[in-house]
């Protein structure tokens, strides 16, 4: 392909030179456009060669925990924080993940944003598409799947948001978190995008008019042939969108294999389904040595109010040489500049002593209730309070970059994206998995280029997630220096 491009670009350049000797303006314009066309065509063919899969995610932590499913199999993956076609054409990763940051916006706006990204990907020659959705069903699932399908026109839309290794399963069309229907968990009371429907088909019917089929666990457990037959029956009934039950990783593997008879598949799922695609497409790569030269403290920024995150903060504070800097969100609402300044002063003091620190917006439910109440008194919704908190954490982070950090741990999608943007990062190169669904990467671009970063969805991980993240950064650093 490269020889093809070189040959024809050179040919056009020679013709262009002849035209300059005997200039005819219209002819020159035509030739210039032809040369530009071939250059773009060659660039697109290069994209087709390089990018095996494009993933479209609605938030940064979900983008990263999906990307790591490929990185841990030595398939290079990069999460784009900023996105445009020019940068896509220069991308060298096997898997590119785009964060549209559309989970908490209006459905129509989410549709437009995702469709715009899909059109750029299609124009760039990308063929394989994965629509990443939240493993707890938050966000504009229907609108974003519709937008993706409208551009790529798949034969079948495989919808399987289960992530069994992270306690997310689907049974009888009901999506469960730790064996409890989503609508009965804390996800139903999330500050942003609460979920009040556990039945995936019914949830999607509220968001789209597309016909949707359901393949039950009973069928999935029967085996590959049974799943293939069920898919065929759904399609014969006009149900191109198909939701699948799954309670084990092997069920997701079977679902993926059952779609092998179709050339144009739109995959829709969480990190669990994504994990199965490497084997399905027979993608492999040699293991790469990961080494990062870094010393200094680790900065944990926890903007999630999830009970899971609260437990992780508590566990991390049992480590030696770590201190808590607690943001008072109620005070932040009253006087943003003062609260940011006070938190920054505390953080700088601890970092100056070489200590790891946790900057947290809530360490217990009392902090959450106080923040919501303070917001209500000021006429702010819980969504607006959450947004102000994430922005403030990003403002604090940028003021701490003078310290030589070993890395950052960012929890909560809003927090992670605001910190990354505050630092001017363009992308995150995903390196390895710290724990299930918790990736370690390094920032690309901005004032902290190359800095290690762990991102974690608020409700992901066991109590030791922050401890493991800090230890992973030390381990990678030690591998480089040993």
CATH number of residue 454's parent domain: 3.40.980.20
Which residue range is the domain that position 476 belongs to? 298-481
pLDDT at residue 8 greater than cutoff 50: no
* Residues 176 and 221 placed together within one structural domain of the fold: yes
Total domains in the fold of the chain? 3
Yes or no: say if 160 and 265 are a contact pair by the CB < 8 Å rule: no
Yes or no: say if 455 and 59 are a contact pair by the CB < 8 Å rule: no
99 within some domain: yes
Phi, psi at 384, each rounded to 5°: -70, -35
Residues in the chain: 482
* Residues 152 and 252 placed together within one structural domain of the fold: yes
* Residues 251 and 158 placed together within one structural domain of the fold: yes
**Within a 10 A sphere around the Cβ of 65, how many other Cβ atoms?**
29
Q: Tokens representing 387?
A: 């947004």
pLDDT of residue 283: 84
CA distance 436 to 170: 18
* Residues 336 and 215 placed together within one structural domain of the fold: no
* Residues 195 and 123 placed together within one structural domain of the fold: yes
Last residue of a domain, one of 246, 280, 314: 280
* Residues 231 and 105 placed together within one structural domain of the fold: yes
C-alpha triplet 120, 13, 33: angle, nearest 5°: 40
pLDDT digits (tens, 9 = 90+) for 154-182: 999 999 999 999 999 999 999 999 999 99
pLDDT digits (tens, 9 = 90+) for 449-464: 999 999 999 989 999 9
**Within a 10 A sphere around the Cβ of 194, how many other Cβ atoms?**
15
**Confidence band of 153 (pLDDT split at 50, 70, 90):** very high
- Facing residues of 360 across strands? 302, 326
Task: Enter the DSSP assignment of 126.
Answer: -
Q: Tokens representing 359?
A: 């900057």
* Residues 103 and 239 placed together within one structural domain of the fold: yes
Q: When comparing pLDDT for 89 and 254, which is higher? A: 254
292 within some domain: no
Q: Which residue, chain included where needed, has tokens 């609605």?
A: 58
286 within some domain: no
CA distance 477 to 399: 24
* Residues 66 and 207 placed together within one structural domain of the fold: yes
pLDDT at residue 288 greater than cutoff 70: no
- 174-177 sheet: strands from edge to edge: 168-171, 174-177, 180-181
Distance spanning both ends of the chain, measured CA to CA: 42
415 within some domain: yes
Task: Enter the DSSP assignment of 319.
Answer: S
C-alpha triplet 5, 8, 10: angle, nearest 5°: 100
- Facing residues of 177 across strands? 168, 180
Q: pTM (2 decimals)?
A: 0.85
* Residues 313 and 430 placed together within one structural domain of the fold: yes
Give the CATH number for residue 106: 3.40.50.10840
* Residues 134 and 225 placed together within one structural domain of the fold: yes
* Residues 118 and 229 placed together within one structural domain of the fold: yes
Mean per-residue pLDDT, 360-388: 94
293 within some domain: no
pLDDT digits (tens, 9 = 90+) for 172-229: 999 999 999 999 999 999 888 999 999 999 999 999 999 999 999 999 999 999 999 9
64 within some domain: yes
* Residues 265 and 158 placed together within one structural domain of the fold: yes
289 within some domain: no
Buried-state track 445-460, b at ≥16 Cβ within 10 A, e below 16: bbebeebbbbbbbbbb
290 within some domain: no
């Amino acid at each position: 392909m490269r020889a093809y491009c070189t040959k024809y670009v050179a040919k056009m350049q020679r013709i262009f030179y002849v035209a300059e000797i005997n200039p005819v303006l219209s002819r020159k314009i035509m030739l210039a456009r032809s040369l530009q066309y071939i250059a773009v065509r060659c660039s697109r063919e290069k994209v087709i060669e390089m990018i095996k899969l494009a993933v479209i995610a609605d938030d940064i932590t979900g983008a990263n925990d999906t990307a790591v499913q490929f990185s841990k199999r030595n398939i290079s993956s990069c999460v784009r924080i900023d996105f445009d076609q020019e940068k896509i054409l220069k991308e060298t990763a096997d898997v590119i993940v785009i964060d549209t940051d559309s989970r908490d916006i209006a459905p129509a706006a989410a549709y437009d944003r995702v469709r715009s990204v899909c059109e750029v990907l299609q124009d760039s020659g990308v063929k394989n598409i994965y629509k990443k959705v939240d493993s707890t069903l938050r966000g504009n699932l229907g609108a974003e799947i519709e937008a993706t399908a409208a551009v790529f026109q798949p034969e079948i839309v495989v919808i399987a948001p289960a992530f069994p290794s992270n306690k997310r399963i689907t049974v009888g069309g009901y999506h469960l978190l730790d064996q409890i229907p989503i609508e009965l968990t804390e996800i139903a009371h999330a500050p942003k995008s609460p979920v009040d429907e556990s039945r995936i088909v019914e949830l999607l019917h509220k968001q789209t008019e597309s016909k949707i089929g359901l393949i039950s666990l009973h069928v999935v457990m029967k085996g590959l042939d049974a799943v293939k037959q069920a898919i065929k029956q759904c399609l014969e009934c006009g149900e191109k969108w198909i939701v699948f039950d799954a309670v084990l990783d092997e069920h997701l593997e079977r679902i993926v294999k059952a779609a092998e008879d179709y050339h144009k598949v739109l995959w829709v799922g969480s990190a669990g389904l994504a994990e199965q695609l490497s084997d399905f497409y027979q993608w492999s790569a040699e293991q790469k040595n990961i080494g990062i030269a870094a010393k200094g403290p680790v900065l944990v920024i926890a903007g999630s109010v999830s009970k899971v995150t609260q437990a992780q903060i508590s566990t991390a504070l049992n480590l030696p040489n770590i201190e808590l800097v607690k943001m008072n969100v109620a005070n932040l609402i009253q006087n943003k500049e003062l609260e940011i300044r006070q938190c920054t002063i505390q953080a700088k003091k601890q970092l100056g002593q070489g200590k790891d620190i946790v900057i947290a917006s809530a360490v217990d439910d009392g902090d959450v209730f106080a923040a919501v109440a303070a917001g209500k008194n000021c006429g702010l919704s819980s969504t607006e309070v959450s947004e102000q908190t994430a922005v403030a954490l990003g403002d604090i982070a940028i003021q701490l970059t003078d310290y030589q950090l070993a890395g950052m741990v960012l929890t909560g999608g809003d927090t992670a994206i605001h910190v990354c943007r505050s630092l001017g990062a363009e992308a995150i190169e995903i390196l390895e998995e710290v724990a299930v669904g918790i990736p370690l990467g390094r920032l690309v671009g901005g004032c902290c280029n190359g800095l290690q970063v762990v991102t974690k969805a608020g409700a992901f991980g066991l109590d030791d997630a922050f401890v493991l993240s800090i230890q992973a950064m030390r381990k990678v650093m030690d591998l480089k220096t040993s």
